[in-house]
């Protein structure tokens, strides 16, 4: 029997095992087959007739895949497929050595979050028609998001008992029900007060619902995440903002603007409620871009 045919048969045995014993989906099996077939093609070109036992051979295969401009996610999947396959080979006593133990998965590059400029934020905040009831609510809502950097899930659960207006602080319950006190601007508080007096309290009286949630829908119920998402999208469109804005964008914008204006990273971490500072550090990339732009614009010898 051709030795390469033997390798192909072993792959087929592994795929049957994965499907029957592990119960993997048809899509996963197809992905494994594609990855392992590419590996066999590489072995054939390199005149290798058995599964490599040295990490250098695996690295050569992965380097070839990178040369073909394969995405980092595709390389990660290849490594995962080979890692599981080699584990099976060792368990079946087909292979004694597992070179995949020496192969690290590539680090995934986290995409930089989208942030609005100060001009875009100003344009966005101007869009709600504050002469209308929902427009006044929406202005207060947008001002609160930008003033505090809270998550949308935290916003819709915000209650009046969480506001400490005299201290300009708001109590927020974040992920894992972790409580934190964060600053809120006098501007945002004034919009909340105006919304409460002119819109929210009359609505509560009208519908007869007694609730402490700050931001309500037109029927007196609490807002949903989807409703907030639609509100933000609507006003971004009116403001002519072309960026892909999500409910998290104002949170990203808040953090970026603080850092651009000299805020300490640890302070921003505390306000955002990040347990790990590495999560907050992604915003330093955005503020570094701002620093470079300012430098190039203002330095006389550029």
C-alpha separations of 137 from 17, 23, 79, 190, 211 in Å:
58, 51, 51, 12, 16
Angle at which helix 225-238 crosses helix 133-148, to 10 degrees, equals 100
Total Cβ atoms within 10 A of residue 292: 10
Distance from CA of residue 57 to its chain's centroid? 35
Give the bridge partners for 213, in sequence order.
159
Q: Say if CB 182 and CB 166 are below 8 A apart.
A: no
Sheet of 179-183, strand order: 163-164, 169-173, 179-183
| Structure-token pair, residue 250 | 């104002």
User: Are 180 and 273 contacting, i.e. CB atoms less than 8 angstroms apart?
Assistant: yes
| Residue that is written with structure tokens 């990490």 in the block | 55
What ranges make up the beta strands (E) of 106-155? none
Burial of 206 (0-12, 13-18, 19+ CB in 10 A): exposed
- Residues noted as catalytic: 151, 175, 248, 251, 274, 283
Contacts 24+ apart (CB under 8 A), 183-188: 183/148, 183/271, 184/144, 184/147, 184/148, 185/143, 185/147, 187/143, 187/147, 188/140, 188/143, 188/144, 188/146, 188/147, 188/148
Sequence-ordered list of residues with C-beta below 8 angstroms from that of 158, at least 6 positions apart, any chain: 144, 150, 170, 172, 213, 214, 215
Give yes or no for a contact between 268 and 280, defined as CB atoms under 8 angstroms apart.
yes
């Amino acid at each position: 029997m051709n030795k390469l045919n033997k390798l192909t048969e072993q792959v087929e045995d592994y795929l049957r095992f994965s499907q029957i014993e592990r119960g993997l989906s048809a899509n996963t099996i197809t992905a494994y087959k594609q990855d392992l077939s590419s590996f066999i093609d590489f072995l054939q070109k390199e005149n290798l007739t058995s599964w490599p036992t040295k990490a250098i051979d695996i690295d050569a295969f992965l380097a070839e895949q990178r040369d073909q401009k394969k995405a980092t996610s595709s390389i990660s999947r290849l490594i995962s497929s080979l890692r599981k396959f080699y584990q099976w080979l060792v368990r079946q006593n087909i292979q004694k050595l597992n070179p995949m133990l020496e192969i690290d998965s590539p680090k995934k590059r986290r995409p930089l979050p989208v942030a609005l400029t100060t001009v875009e934020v100003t344009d966005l905040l101007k869009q709600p028609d504050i002469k209308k009831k929902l427009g006044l609510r929406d202005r207060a809502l947008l001002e609160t998001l930008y003033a505090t950097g809270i998550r949308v899930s935290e916003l819709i659960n915000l209650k009046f008992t969480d506001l400490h207006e005299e201290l300009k602080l708001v109590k927020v319950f974040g992920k894992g029900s972790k409580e934190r006190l964060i600053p809120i601007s006098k501007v945002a508080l004034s919009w909340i007060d105006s919304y409460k007096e002119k819109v929210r309290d009359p609505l509560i009286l009208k519908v007869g619902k007694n609730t402490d949630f700050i931001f309500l829908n037109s029927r007196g119920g609490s807002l949903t995440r989807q409703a907030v998402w639609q509100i933000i999208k609507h006003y971004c469109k009116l403001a002519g903002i072309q960026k892909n804005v999500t409910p998290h964008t104002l949170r990203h914008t808040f953090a970026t603007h603080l850092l651009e204006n000299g805020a300490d990273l640890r302070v921003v971490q505390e306000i955002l409620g990040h347990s790990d500072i590495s999560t907050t550090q992604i915003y330093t990339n955005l503020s570094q871009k701002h620093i470079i732009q300012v430098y190039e614009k203002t330095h006389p010898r550029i």
